Amino acid sequence: MSDTPLLIAGLGNPGGEYARNRHNAGFMAVDAIHASFGFGSWRAKFEGLLSEGKLARRKTYLLKPMTYMNESGRSVGAAARFLKLPLAAVTVFHDEIDLAAGKLKAKIGGGDAGHNGLRSITQTLGPDYTRVRIGVGHPEKGRVVGHVLQNFSKADEEWLVPMLSAIADCAPSLAEDDPIGFLNKIALILHPPEHKPKPEKDS
């Protein structure tokens, strides 16, 4: 595990009217981690809200940019530069319309797939940070903005609540630089293998 601090940024839009939007899935993930590991109070810094704590004994910063989604790079970039962090120590949670609702994927680097928050961060820092993609389902053609700026539905809550809880439970794997292990542990929580009884032997 690295001695370098970890920065976990969750993307979203500030303000109560956006709080339950699909586009704010990144905020929700970071809030779940914050609540589960006794992180410090949120304070205004780097044009965002910052909290400090530890995951797997590694110093970790949680960040929610308050710049609105399209300018996320201003906040994430300011934090990463001030903390002198390499891109390998930056993880970003964000909503993803190209993933089915409730699916999670993680990758290092790559394209931004039309996500304006990622585009802003990539333009500021470069592409080689870890992205955790939270699937929110694909809208009908031409309705992307309306889809991501709508609140999660009652039906969505059935997968969203347990998924956010699992993200928090498994977050220490991110501090251990193991995004694949993070995903695998979440999968085991959300989809535990069935335990079939062993057949009895004839006596």
Q: What is the CATH number of the domain that holds 113?
A: 3.40.50.1470
- Confidence at residue 145, expressed as pLDDT on a 0 to 100 scale: 60
197 found inside a domain: no
pLDDT at 195 (0 to 100): 61
Residue 195 lies inside a defined structural domain of this protein: no
d(CA 174, CA 180): 9
**1 lies in a domain?**
no
Q: Is 23 a catalytic residue?
A: yes
Q: Which ranges of the chain have pLDDT less than 50?
A: 203
**200 domain residue, yes or no:** no
Per DSSP, the three-state class of 74 is: helix
Beta strands in 68-147 (DSSP E): 90-96, 104-108, 130-135
Which residues have C-beta within 8 Å of that of residue 35, sequence separation ≥ 6? 168
pTM, whole model, 2 decimals?
Answer: 0.91
Query: What are the C-alpha distances in Å from 6 to residues 112, 153, 157, 187?
Result: 21, 32, 29, 23
Q: Which of 23, 34, 94, 115 is catalytic?
A: 23
Note whether residue 71 is domain-resident. Answer: yes
The pLDDT tens digits of the residues spanning 89-129 come to 999 999 998 899 999 999 999 999 889 999 999 999 999 99
Q: Looking at the domain assignment, is residue 201 inside a domain?
A: no
Determine whether 42 is exposed, middle or buried from the number of CB atoms within 10 Å of its CB (0-12, 13-18, 19+). Answer: middle
Could you tell me if 47 and 53 are in contact, meaning their C-beta atoms sit under 8 angstroms apart? no
Domain tally, the chain: 1
What pLDDT is recorded for position 138? 75
pLDDT at res. 137: 86
Please check whether residue 11 lies inside any domain of the structure: yes
Q: Is residue 203 part of a domain?
A: no
Q: What was the pLDDT predicted at 203?
A: 45
Residues spanned by the domain of 150: 6-190
